[in-house]
Amino acid sequence: MPIVEPSYRPPWGLRNGHAQSVLARFLRRIPPSAYTRRRLELPDGDFLDLDEIIQGHGRIAILLHGLEASSQAPYVRAMAATLLDQRWDIVAMNFRGCSGEPNRLMRSYHSGVSDDLEHVIADMGKRYASPALALVGFSLGGNVTLRYLGEKGIAARDQGVTVAAAISVPSDLEACAERFKAPANRFYMNRFLRCLFQKVRHRQELFPSALDYDSVLASRHFHDFDGRFTAPVHGFDSAQDYWTRCSGKAVARAIAVPTLLVNARDDPFLTESCHLLEEAREHPYLHADIPSHGGHVGFITLRGKNGFYQESRVQAFFRSQTGSPHHQD
């Protein structure tokens, strides 16, 4: 307990993790969300852009996107629409530099930026009279969610967090970095690097003497990039030091808020160690739902209102843990 018996069954022809990972992006038909953007100024002089839908429900779901995505990612907007139906207000967090405007500092975001999430949580408590909070993180954002929950333990409840979910989480960063070196993942690796290099070039313009930028821009995988950029910029000794200190797996046993983990065994980015089955086996709060198929932030069903398992699964989990508020006419 609580390892969940998976209920996800993929449609015929979608039992391939790569197909799920790629097609999910094109099969989602989500209209633009009616976000209101608000800028949260941070103590270090930087900022986070928050995209909000506040309807006065008294409870807020904070959504965290994946690597080089944003609040506009289709999977974020789909989760926002699903939880709005369950009468959660929405705050979709853009990590530093991911809102369409470069951030101000040399530092960026990474898989362990739980301090930025904590600033958002504290801001919610001040701004909206201590609402009940939920966290939903995807991929990198899922790891940030697990890091925050594990680092805070019971204190997360004191900050208002009542329930959480994490989807397709690379909670063992070193193992996942190694996985990305596989030839089958070269397409994804190159895509991520192209996006990351754009941010590196912006920093090169603003801070020309801060790094050996030629070396960073010659990176071919995460071993290179995290060792040459992520680690030195964010105060880690090496890529391995960053991965060790920021993996969600390392703190998962300390989670003290009901938390759902949904990973697919055929996720091309993840390893078996990311599924946290040993951590969840006797855990009172961590619920591991690990279906055989689903790819990376895929879980296509083509059935029902949503057409994707992750939305309906998170909706059901949140309802089971918190109930649903009464509708007011």
Based on the residue annotation, tell me whether 267 is a catalytic residue of this protein. Answer: yes
Mark whether 215 is an active-site residue: no
Cα separation, 314 vs 79, whole angstroms: 9
Q: One of 49, 108, 296, 312 is an active-site residue; which one?
A: 296
**Cβ proximity of 274 and 263 under 8 Å:** yes
> Active site residue: 33, 71, 108, 139, which one?
139
Q: Which of 51, 172, 267, 289 is catalytic?
A: 267
- What's phi and psi for 134, nearest 5 deg? -125, 150
Sheet with 59-64, side-by-side order of all strands: 3-4, 286-289, 259-262, 161-167, 132-138, 59-64, 89-93, 47-53, 36-41
What tokens appear for 17 in the block?
A: 């993790």
139 is catalytic: yes
Catalytic residue set: 139, 267, 296
